[in-house]
Structure formats: structure tokens, C-alpha cells
Structure 1
Amino acid sequence: MTAHNLILNVDSYKASHYLQYPPGSEYVSSYIECRGGEFPEAVFFGLQAFIKQYLLKPISAADIDEAEQLLHAHGLPCHRAGWEHILQAHAGLLPLEISAVPEGTVVPLHNVMLQVVNTCPACFWLTTYIETALLRAIWYPATVATQSREIKKVIAKYLEETAGSLKSLPFKLHDFGARGASSLETAMLGGMAHLVNFQGTDTVSGVIAAHKYYGADMAGFSIPAAEHSTITAWGRPGEAAAYANMLDHFAGPDRVVAVVSDSYDIWSAIDTIWGGELRERVIQNGGTLVIRPDSGEPVKMVTESLERLMRIFGARTNRKGYRVLPDFIRIIQGDGISRHSIPKILQAMKTRKQSAENITFGMGGELLQKLHRDTMNFAMKANAIRINGHWHGICKNPRTGPEKKSRCGRLALVRNNAGQMVTIALDELGQRKNLLEPVYRDGQLLRETRFEEVRHRAQIPLRGG
């Protein structure tokens, strides 16, 4: 079996749906929206990556043969005639039109983001067949990008309040999530989605994806950093030598190096090694040493680490009245970091007059993995069907689940007189601009989006400098 047979990139029950639509069916329209969830708005992202990876390559006769054999053995029919029509009449490319908001657009909840319709009446069944792959391609990177952006708002707020400068903001949330992701493709998509908002990452596959799918020369950056194995390999008596070795190799003017320092006793490491035996080397290192306290309760670890470092190395008071370590030393907290713990840490720092300038956050599974489709209630639903030349709006409206009511009729997304995005019926568009623009049609990518464009659209409102 091939890994990328588009016919099999589907929920099983979809294979029987071509037999379930009314006679005379010609076109089916479906749309994607967020029906609710934990954030007030969503960053639309991931469509171009999906199109380039899956929709620009035609299906083959071998794909059809493989799908028929598997689906029959699986207990389902296979619409061989339909797929052969696509192969012969459309050169194996899907006769669909996908319209969407530009990627990086921040869309309020309960609004259409994407609409798809078949372009060949013989393929009325194809619009909903693609749901499994298309919805998954959108909900995951869009949710990661949205969460990352919401965290960026929080960090920016505390920088504005305690630092007075946002210069460091692009590197304040570092992606540690590659090893905790469920697959390489998950790490690629999620890592890339995080880079919509920040530039710090250790997820190499995310950088690769941003280049491959959105043309980014280099979307993310990292620094040399220790892990526990490279410290404990020296043995406990050699802990100071291990730290000194990091400075030997990676310290220097305009260089940054991170050293995990809790392999044995973080307080001893700060007080007697970094602040004792290696104190002058830290001060004279020429760049920035970033100490990583990696265990313990995060709020306590951060605030206590900063207090100890400030006692040892001193601190200046910035123009906002908050204390900042010398430029040669900072900390990164990478354990217990989530969208819930970050504001708690920053608030505790603020209470102790510690500036948010002092810290960078590293976020792993909470960033790329502890999310799901219902985090923002993403859904793709059919909203219209054309039968024998006439369009009919269709929707679901379950009595026992009114929150799952879907929209009826073909849709458009516009800005109202107040500049807010609202979803309307396509028939009511008139002279207004539809923010849903065709992106894909019949095997062709119609609009190429660059990664910098995505970042620009997803920018957060800022007050500070």
C-alpha cells in the first residue's frame, strides 16, 4: 500500500457516499469554520501546504486499483467509475475549487474561512469526500498558530508593562515540541505554524516546511544548548568542568549559549558554580549565557533563579521600574510551560519587580501536541447542493445539539461598516468584496502565498516600542 494515495486519505464511510446523494445531484458546496472554543479568533493557516503536498499530483490508475482492492476487503464499495472519470477527463487532478481567506488572516469565531465546491457535475460526491484530509490539514496548523499567537499577546503585554521594549518578543517563545509530536508531519506543520508568530525553534522540520511550502529562506533560529546527557556525562564531580566546556566552545562576542543546570542541584549550580567558580568567565564571556532551570514548580523556579542571579551578578532598573539582569546572563524555562503557566510566571515576576526581559520560554508538548480539533471546534459541513440546475441550501440543525447547527446556503465573508468580518449568503454579496478568494482550481494553485505575508497578516496589535 502506498502512503500517499489520495483516494485512501479518507474516513471509511466516505467511500459509500457517492450512492447516497439525490438523483440529479450536480454540485455540492462545503465550508470550514470554528464553531467555538478556547480562543476568540483563529489564524487561518495550512491550506497552501496541503495543496502543494497532496493536490498538485494527479491520481493514477494504480491508485484506483489499490483503493478498490483495499476498500472492498474493508467492507465498502469503491467508486471506480468516478475516479476513472477524474483520471481520464481531468488528467487525475481533482475537479474542485477551494476559496479561502488569505493565509495568516485572523478570523473571529463563527465565520467561514474556506469554501469548496466541485467544478465537474459528474463529481458532485468529491466535495465531501475530501473533508477528512482537508479539515485535518487546516484545523491542526491553524490551532497551533492561534495558540502561539495568543501566548504572544500575553508575553507582549508583560514586556510592555515591565520592559518598555518589544525588541526581544520574536524570540520569547521557543518551540521544544518536535520529540513530543505524534509524527514527523505533525512536527513539520505544527513547528511551521508556531513560526508564524515567533522566530525561535528547535523543530528543524518546521523550518523545512516553511521553506518548502511558503518559500521562507530561514523562518526560525536556534542556539547551541546543553542537554542533561552532555552534562551528566562528566559525572557530578565534573559538573563545573561541563559548564566550562560549554563556555569554551560556544561563548563569545554576540553569541548565545544555553546550559541546563538542574542535573543535580540547581541552587548549588547557580550559587557555587555559575556564581562562584565560573563567575568571572560568565561576566567576561562576551555574549549571553542562558541558564535553564528544568525541574520544579515553574513559578518558584523562575522567580527564585532570577533573585539568586541578581544577587550574584547585579541588576539594573529599567525605565519601567523593573529589574533586569546584565546582558551577559538570562534564563530560559522549558519545563511545565503552557498557555496557562506563562501568565502565572510573568505575573509573579512582575509582582517581584522582575522584568519580562529576563526570561525566554521553551514549550514542547503543550505547543504542538496537547491540542485537538475541538480546541476551537473546527468543522467542515455541506451548505448547498445543486440538483437539476437549481441550488438548494442544506444544513444540520439537531434538536439535541443546537450548538452544532450549520450554515445553510453558499457563503461569503465580508467586512461590515465597522470593519468587522461577518459571514453572509453569497447571493447577498452585491458589490462588496468577498474575502474568500479562489486558491485552488482543477489541480492548479491559483495564488502563491509567501511566509512573510502570513506573518504580516497574523501580527498582534502592539502598544510598546
Structure 2
Amino acid sequence: MAYTPILAADSYKASHKWQYPEGTEYVSSYIEARANNSGLDLPGSVFFGLQPLLRQWAETPITDSDIRRSAAVFAAHGVPFFEEGWRWILDAHQGRLPVEVRAVAEGSVVPFNNAVVQVVNTDPKAFWLTSYLETGLQRAVWYASTVATVSWSVKRILREFWALTSDSPVESLDFKLHDFGARGASSGESAALGGMAHLVNFKGTDTVEALLAADEFYGEAMAGFSIPAAEHSTITSWGRDGEVAAYANMLRQFGGPGRLVAVVSDSYDVFHAVEKLWGEELRAQVLDIGGTLVIRPDSGDPVTVVARVLDLAAKAFGTETNAKGYRVLNPAVRVIQGDGVNPKSIRAILQRMKNDGFAIDNIAFGMGGALLQKVDRDTFSWAMKASAIGIGGHWRDVYKEPVTDQGKGSKRGRLALVRDHGLGLRTVPLDSVPDADNLLRPVFRDGILLAPTTFAEVRARVAETL
């Protein structure tokens, strides 16, 4: 489906040009995550995902074909279409959107209820355009930012238990949460954008579209990595009597010095597989290949199953005690839990491991639906609202203040985001601070991407917040 911002909008946006006060010249709007409804302990949200949309705007100016197609769509759809306005953008601006977008740097963690984006039209004849673009802007920002925040929350949990139980380098955490979410995402685009948002915090993924997106939109040639891994179809195709042969085949095909191979081991009886098949029949091969076997349970209660698998693996392959007094499995064996994984279960699993004397080094996690799909715009109450309107050369405040829900009240006036060394980041009136202090920096103006950021820069900003 060919993209045009004219049709990347809710239907009712097409009629809004005629709904503003006479003489309107400018409309200024902002985007914020109003509240934390996730149940996670978070100081704010990770801002990420605006640049792909801005690149799309910059690279796909409005065309005559877009306008003619849109006019036909809206006429058949039953809503008015401001063709004259779009033709003005085509003729006067060569199809480039006459708006300025300011935003906080991607990868920043911003406390809830603060502006992270501000948008205003730059041509008074396009005053209607600011809010028209809301659909695409919100969709770009809320989803990627929410996934990045959920992923970041897991990194914080992992870091907590790493500090308590591990003496490995902190960089080992980069591969502790693997993205298993591609098949559960609502679309390939969702998998790409959400999977890329996860990679802001980690470097493990099986979502190939995310790698392509990070390269296309942020210039990261290879943002994530994976290893050979079995699934139930490849193991069960050998039959129940051939289970040990299936495992041996995985070692033969993919094992070797320095190599990792993940093998799902619960097709029949995961405890038997760990104790007898891996721990006895194939023990010598596992130890001799010089790499690491990653055993994957995939059913049952995650906390109790992981605890028992670790105990059985420890008895079969042995452990060493690290400097903090916690046991680490023989380097030839590790565990990955990819079923029933979410921030709450990760904390519970790690707490049980700590109680049992096991270091975080022994495990990694795979997260699917809870990472890319079990989020929505209400997870952090994302909203874009008009906050100021310019008429006759003067600005006046615009806001909502519903008596039925104070949480849906909106900010008023043109806004700035500043660093307050006592309170962190906070939103203030734009004219109350020097422009140099405003963290909402111009990133797009009149069809031009102004200050592209790289994936490495985004990752560095997020890392500073851990």
C-alpha cells in the first residue's frame, strides 16, 4: 500500500480545517506519556521511534497523484477533503510538509506527564496541518517508546540481580533478554518497529525485520544477534524414541569451540531430558564440543521449572562459586526461559534463583507477546493535544479540563522541556527559558530531517539511565 501522510490519518481529521476559529494562523501541539498504567516500577518512559516517521515524511513529499487519490477516497468515504490546502502544500512547498517538529533526544528517559514532542505549522495557510498529522505521530511515538520502556524495565531488573549475584562484566546483560516476538506481532511493521525498540536496550533478537529497520532508519548495520536453535518440529520429527538422537544432531551440526546452540528440551519430559539425556547419555559430547549448550524449557510454571532444571543441570555438569558466593554452571551449559516471560515472571525467576544460590549468569530470557504485543496506547496514556493557537499575530492558550476525568486534562501554551537539577526533567512555558535550555530540539522542519541520530547514540543515552 503506497504511503502518503494525507491518508495516514483518522477520517474525521479531514473535516477539521473548517472547525478552527476564523483567522487561525498557527496551531502548536505536544505529545506526552501522561501516566504509568503498566504496573511496572518506572521513573519515566524511554522516548524512541520518531525518526522513522520523519524520514518517511522527508523522503515522500506529497504528489499530485496522492492528492487525486485522496480526493477520490474521501469523496467515496463521505467526508470533506481540503484539496485546496494540500495543493497549496504541493505548489508552494514542493509537497514538503510545512511543519516544525521539536523533540527530546531519542533514548532519553522522561518522567511521565512531560512533553517529549512539540509540533507547529510553519506556514499560516497550513494551520490545520498540525493536528491532521496526529495519527501518524502518535502511532510512531507511543508504540516504539512503550516497547523500549518495557524492555528497559527488564534491563533494570536484570541489572539489580546482576549486582547482587554476578561478577561477570555488566555487558553480559546485553544478551539476557532475547526478542521472541515476531510471530506474535500484529504486522511486519509492528515487528520491525517494536523489535527495533527492544534493541535499544539489548543485542539479542530473532526478529529479522527489526535489524532491517535499525539499518534503514538509524544507520546501524547490524543491531542484534542470534544463534542456531531448535524448535519442537525439528526435535519431535525424530520421534520420541529418537529424542536423544535429535539432541546429538544439534550438537553435531552446530556445536564447536566458542559456539552456542539452543535446544528446546520439553517436547516430552524436560526433567528427564536434562537429567538423563543431556546429563548422562550426551554429557561427554556437551563437555567436549568446547561451546555452550543452552537448554530451553518451554512449558509449565516458569519459576518452578527453571529452578528444577538448574538444579538438575548443576548435578549433572557441576558448578563453581563466584566471588559473591553464588553458583555458576559449568560454562558448557546454560538455560534460556522463553515461555510465560514478562517483567513480573523474570523478577520471580531471578529471586528464586538467588534464594537457591544461583547467579544470574546461568540464564537468559526470551520474551515474545509481552514484549511486542501486550502493550497499547493506554499503557502509558500517550496523547497528543493542541496547547496553543496563533491568531492575528498573538498566541493564546488551548487546553482541556474535563470535570469527569482530571487525568485527561491537558497542558496549555507553547512548551519547553528543561533539566531541573532538583526535580529532573520538567515541562515549562516556552517563553520562560532560554532556547538553549530547551531539550525539545528541532528535528524536522519543512520536509527536512534536521538532526538525525544514530542507533549507537540512542543506545548510549539509554545506558546512561541504568
1:59: how far off?
1.1
The residue that corresponds to 1:389 in the other structure is: 393
SS in 2 for 1:458: helix
Give the Cα separation in 1 of the matches to 2:462 and 2:4: 33
Instruction: Output aligned runs, 1:3-14, within 5 Å.
Output: 3-14=2-13
Give the Cα separation in 2 of the matches to 1:423 and 1:414: 6
Equivalent residues of 1:414, 1:432 under 8 A apart: no
The residue that corresponds to 2:242 in the other structure is: 238
1:14/1:461 Cα in 2 relative to 1: closer, same or farther (>3 Å)? closer
The residue that corresponds to 1:365 in the other structure is: 369
Counterpart of 1:358, as a letter, is N
Is residue 63 from structure 1 mapped to residue 80 from structure 2 by the alignment? no
Give the Cα separation in 1 of the matches to 2:217 and 2:423: 31
Counterpart of 1:144, as a letter, is V
1:256/1:276 Cα in 2 relative to 1: closer, same or farther (>3 Å)? same
Task: Extract unaligned runs of 5+ from structure 2.
Answer: none
1:222: how far off?
0.2
Is residue 157 from structure 1 mapped to residue 160 from structure 2 by the alignment? yes
SS in 2 for 1:92: coil
Counterpart of 2:24, as a letter, is S
Instruction: Output aligned runs, 1:174-253, within 5 Å.
Output: 174-253=178-257
> Which piece of structure 1 moves more, 313-322 or 191-200?
313-322
Deviations 1:17-44, CA, capped at 9 Å, x for gaps: 0000011000000000111013330111
1:5: how far off?
2.4
SS in 1 for 2:343: coil
Counterpart of 1:453, as a letter, is E
Aligned length: 461
Counterpart of 2:33, as a letter, is C
- RMSD of Structure 2 on Structure 1 (CA): 1.1
SS in 2 for 1:22: coil
Is residue 90 from structure 1 mapped to residue 89 from structure 2 by the alignment? no
1:418: how far off?
2.6
Deviations 1:115-169, CA, capped at 9 Å, x for gaps: 0000000000000000001011000000000110011000111011011332410
1:374: how far off?
0.7
Give the Cα separation in 2 of the matches to 1:239 and 1:115: 58
Is residue 354 from structure 1 mapped to residue 358 from structure 2 by the alignment? yes
Deviations 1:385-406, CA, capped at 9 Å, x for gaps: 0011111110001111111110
Counterpart of 1:395, as a letter, is Y
SS in 2 for 1:366: helix
Segments of 4+ in structure 1 off by > 3 A? none
Give the Cα separation in 2 of the matches to 1:351 and 1:56: 54
Deviations 1:246-297, CA, capped at 9 Å, x for gaps: 1111111110000000111111111111011101001111010000011111
Give the Cα separation in 2 of the matches to 1:295 and 1:444: 50
The residue that corresponds to 1:118 in the other structure is: 121
1:54: how far off?
3.5
Give the Cα separation in 2 of the matches to 1:349 and 1:461: 26
Task: Extract unaligned runs of 5+ from structure 1.
Answer: none
Equivalent residues of 1:149, 1:460 under 8 A apart: no
1:53: how far off?
2.3
Give the Cα separation in 2 of the matches to 1:430 and 1:227: 57
Deviations 1:408-444, CA, capped at 9 Å, x for gaps: 0000111124371111001111375110100000110
Give the Cα separation in 1 of the matches to 2:272 and 2:421: 61
Give the Cα separation in 2 of the matches to 1:262 and 1:417: 52
Equivalent residues of 1:224, 1:258 under 8 A apart: yes
1:461/1:26 Cα in 2 relative to 1: closer, same or farther (>3 Å)? closer
Give the Cα separation in 1 of the matches to 2:387 and 2:175: 42
| Percent of aligned pairs with the same amino acid | 56
- The TM-score with structure 2 as length reference comes to 0.97
Is residue 25 from structure 1 mapped to residue 32 from structure 2 by the alignment? no
Give the Cα separation in 2 of the matches to 1:167 and 1:450: 20
Deviations 1:165-222, CA, capped at 9 Å, x for gaps: 3241000000000000000000000000000000000001111111110011211000
Give the Cα separation in 2 of the matches to 1:454 and 1:118: 27
Equivalent residues of 2:4, 2:60 under 8 A apart: no
Give the Cα separation in 2 of the matches to 1:98 and 1:430: 18
Give the Cα separation in 1 of the matches to 2:107 and 2:274: 42
Counterpart of 1:404, as a letter, is K
Instruction: Output aligned runs, 1:130-169, within 5 Å.
Output: 130-165=133-168, 166-169=170-173
Give the Cα separation in 2 of the matches to 1:432 and 1:178: 41
1:461/1:34 Cα in 2 relative to 1: closer, same or farther (>3 Å)? closer
SS in 1 for 2:385: strand
Counterpart of 2:415, as a letter, is L
1:257 to 256, 261, 267: 261
1:223: how far off?
0.2
